[in-house]
């Protein structure tokens, strides 16, 4: 009996590797880039401040 020493991939792992969309590639690159994350958070903060500015400053 010979056993292979190569690791085998499960069906779920093969499916994950097979599904490569441009959006998934974008998110993986975006999450790894710290400057992009900080900039995205700052833009989100600006959008939230603009959206809720009538509540903060009613005058």
Res 3: pLDDT: 63
Instruction: For residue 32, tell me if it sits in a domain.
Output: yes
Instruction: For residues 18-42, give the mean pLDDT.
Output: 92
Give residue-wise pLDDT tens across range 10-28: 665 566 666 789 999 999 9
Q: Which domain holds residue 28?
A: 23-59
Q: How far apart are CA 48 and CA 52, in angstroms?
A: 6
> pTM for the complete prediction?
0.57
Nearest to 40 by CA among 51, 27, 50: 27
Please report whether residue 44 resides in a domain. yes
Q: Would residue 8 count as lying in a domain? A: no
């Amino acid at each position: 009996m010979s056993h292979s020493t190569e690791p085998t991939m499960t069906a779920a792992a093969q499916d994950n590797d097979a599904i490569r969309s441009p959006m998934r590639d974008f998110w993986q690159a975006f999450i790894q880039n710290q400057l992009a994350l900080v900039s995205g958070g700052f833009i989100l903060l600006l959008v939230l401040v603009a959206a809720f500015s009538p509540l903060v400053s009613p005058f």
